[in-house]
Amino acid sequence: MGIQLRLKQELRRGAQQCHASWQRCLAPFRVPREREKLAAIHALARVQESLLPAGFQQAAEKLVLFSHYHPRGWLQRCIRRELADLRARGWPVLVLSGDLDPGALAWCDRNGVGWLRRRNEGRDFGAFQDGWLWLQHQHYGSALERLILLNDSVYPVVDLEATSWPSFVDYQGDEVLGFSDCYQNGYHLQSYGLHLPKVVIRQPWWDSFWRYYRGWGGMSVAIREGEIGLSQLLLHQGVALRALHPASRLRGQIASQELCEQLQHYCSDAAVVWIQQQLLSTGLSSFNYHSTAHYWAIPLLMDGCPFIKRWLLESNEKQMLDPLLVAGGKSGLVDPQELPDYLRPPVIGFAS
């Protein structure tokens, strides 16, 4: 076993060295192209159309940027519910989307939600980049004191009021607030929900982050340089990060009697034992290896998080625990009428 492990490590190290050498060879050709791409982003070349509702103030003190994508331009029912809740709480909202169909545009108009259509590139951090740079170009945001970044990668539970959602939206502290944190590949707040105070968004380095972010990459770039990179930048600048449902607490709860008792409200005794055994199996390795919102989705819900990762409901290729196991057949978690236009399951073939 020791020989196999060492062999794997040597092969991985060799592959990394080859990749690094290849990247150095390509650098002289890549740098000019990257400069051109950044220049196009600064010129807002990806922004196609925008509309702000009546009463949208240039001197607004708070704002939500919501990253959205649907291949048919649908603004899904659960997303409308989440946006309507934000509007009811007094937050101006700007939806950043690759496309919105007529029904979505009409709904935005009726509910005072602004929108910006853009070329679908760079995933959620590419969308936030376009949204932030567009706001600066339009001279919006100079008076911002609170900024919330949200994306559609998570399903909002039905009873938002009973979760940590109000605490997140109404937050007034100087820390950067998220719902959950993660230690994979570097400590970071998970970016499906971030609440940023003025002590961050009025700093020159905040604006510089978006101006130099490589917002044309895929998921790995969005995670490494966007999600992780932003948290690491904040920490480097001396900004404190705070998770409403920290990984350290969730990890401690998976072996607790408290979690067992919570599960008993929703599951049979046999299911409680099985769920806790599956959760405890993650204790065989450091929690650096576990994404909080994926591996510990059930403790996260039990702790009051208002979101379920869509990936767990759509495909769940790594066969992690399905959070709907604790739905208890009740409507407080999911609305079955909302799922058909939200979930996009992978193609798995058709019966002959």
pLDDT at 57 exceeding the cut of 90: no
In this prediction, residue 1 carries a pLDDT of 47
Per-residue model confidence as pLDDT tens digits over 274-298: 999 999 999 888 888 889 999 999 9
Per-residue three-class SS string for the chain: CHHHHHHHHHHHHHHHHHHHHHHHHHHHHHHHHHHHHHHHHHCCCCEEEEECCCCCCCCCCEEEEEEECCCCCCCCHHHHHHHHHHHHCCCCEEEEECCCCHHHHHHHHHCCCEEEEECCCCHHHHHHHHHHHHHHHCCCCCCCCEEEEEECCEEECCCHHHCCHHHHHCCCCCCEEEEEEECCCCCEECCCEEEEEHHHHCCHHHHHHHHHCCCCCCHHHHHHHHHHHHHHHHHHCCCCEEEEECHHHHHHHCCCHHHHHHHHCCCCHHHHHHHHHHHHHHHHCCHHHCCHHHHCHHHHHHCCCCEEEHHHHHCCCCCCCCHHHHCCCCCCCCCCCCCCCCCCCCCCCCCC
The answer to whether residue 98 scores a pLDDT higher than 60 is yes
- Least Cα distance to 230 among 256, 199, 209 occurs for 209
Q: How far apart are CA 294 and CA 313, in angstroms?
A: 11
pLDDT in tens, 212-237: 999 888 888 888 988 999 999 999 99
pLDDT tier for residue 202 given thresholds of 50, 70 and 90:
very high
In the chain, the domains with their CATH numbers are 47-245 (3.90.550), 247-326 (no CATH)
Residue 319 backbone phi and psi in degrees, to 5: 55, 50
Mean of pLDDT over the chain: 90
Q: What is the pLDDT of residue 298?
A: 95
Q: Is 157 exposed, middle or buried (0-12, 13-18, 19+ CB in 10 A)?
A: buried
Q: Answer whether residue 16 shows pLDDT above 80.
A: no
> Among residues of the chain, what percentage have pLDDT more than 70?
91
Average pLDDT over residues 149-158: 97
- The residue behind tokens 């230690």 is 183
CA 312 from chain centre, in angstroms, equals: 14
